[in-house]
Amino acid sequence: MDKFFDQKECQAPEQREASLVNQLGDFIAFAKDSCDYYQQSLADVVPLSIKSRADFAKLPLLRKSDLIELQAKKMPFAGVNANNATLQRIFQSPGPIYDPQGQGDDFWRTGRAFYAAGFRAGDLVQNCLSYHLSPGGFILDAGARACDCIVIPAGPGQTEQQLQIINGLKPQGYCGTPSFLNILRQKGDISSIKKALVTGEALPESLRTSFEQDGISVLQAYASADAGLIAYESSAKEGLIVSEDILLEIVKPGTGDLVAEGEVGEIVITSFNRDYPLIRFATGDLSALLPGVSPCGRTNMRIKGWMGRADQTTKIKGMFVHPSQIAQVTKRHPQIAKARLVVTSESHNDQMHLLIEVNNDVD
């Protein structure tokens, strides 16, 4: 049985780096020619002058947090998409932010994360991310099927029905948030599940250990609705391995300046996707680079994993909540003077409370 999803995963690091950097000039030229947004934001950039990461780091960032306003001005994708792109679907994530699905069976490239987590042809997988409006369910569905797995499109919630399916069909695998896998385990018998790929929220080591004690191997995938798979765990569990065909940088929050290896900063990625080019896309997530390569034999650079947010955006049960959404709530109720969203976790389940302070003149 092959150890790797493909040979890209074990190529020499210097070969991969040269390939990524050598693509930059042509890719930037394509984006300027094909995407209205980059025609403006990169107007003064000479694409073929970009010959190194240092050159590339001088380009402006495209911030995920800015997409809400940018898209509202130019629907649906703010001109970041290629004008000639042939799309399969359009999704809406909280914000709202609209994301496209272009052509290809595994558009978000999540197959290698499933493969690294031990999923193989013929495995029956219960997919518990939502297929409704947001792309999460489709992102995992495509990755599992890229490994020739059979997918149960379960979505989130409906715990009793989910357990009925598990008891009847005996799936070997699960994909979704770790908190929902924990709920299923607490409510019923999920002993057929031996492997899980989790995403959308943090995985505390204490929760992973408890899953392993119940015979479930749990590994993480770090993905976004915009960029697809960014990084993933392998059986070595020593950081997250950056996905192939992604150029990842760690920058000082609020700037585009690169930080030293090991220093915590904001994750910025470039995805060489010609339907939806993302060039120096600032995710808002914090992490740090790890030295060396993974003991599993995959040779791409590694990050420590999710280490918090560089902005005030937060996640509740795998879904983003933006400050602008809180502002919309308070705007509808003029009695509210101040508001604060407080997010806590109880038994590995997210809890959200909106605290408000009313105006003094309100009875």
CATH number at residue 88: 3.40.50.12780
First to last CA, the chain: 71
Q: Which of 142, 148, 151, 140 is nearest to 120 (CA)?
A: 148
Report the pLDDT value the prediction gives residue 51, as an integer from 0 to 100: 97
In a shared domain, residues 37 and 172: yes
Structure confidence at residue 220 (pLDDT): 99
What is the rounded average pLDDT of the residues 272-296?
98
Residues 102 and 226 in one domain: yes
* Residue pair 108/156 in contact by the 8 Å Cβ criterion: no
DSSP string computed for 234-249: -TT-SSEEEPTTEEEE
Its domain, for residue 215, covers: 7-311
In a domain, 104, yes or no: yes
CA distance 248 to 271: 9
- CA atoms within a 13 Å half-sphere pointing along the CA-CB vector of 299: 12
Span 117-144, pLDDT tens digits: 999 999 999 999 999 999 999 999 999 9
Does 184 lie in the same domain as 139?
A: yes
Counting residues of the chain whose pLDDT is more than 70, the rounded percentage is 89
Q: How far apart are CA 302 and CA 46, in angstroms?
A: 30
Identify the residue with better confidence: 76 or 2: 76
290 - beta bridge partners?
A: 302
Number of domains in the chain: 2
Is the domain of 150 the same as that of 12? yes
Does residue 180 belong to any structural domain of this protein?
yes
Range 168-197 average pLDDT: 98
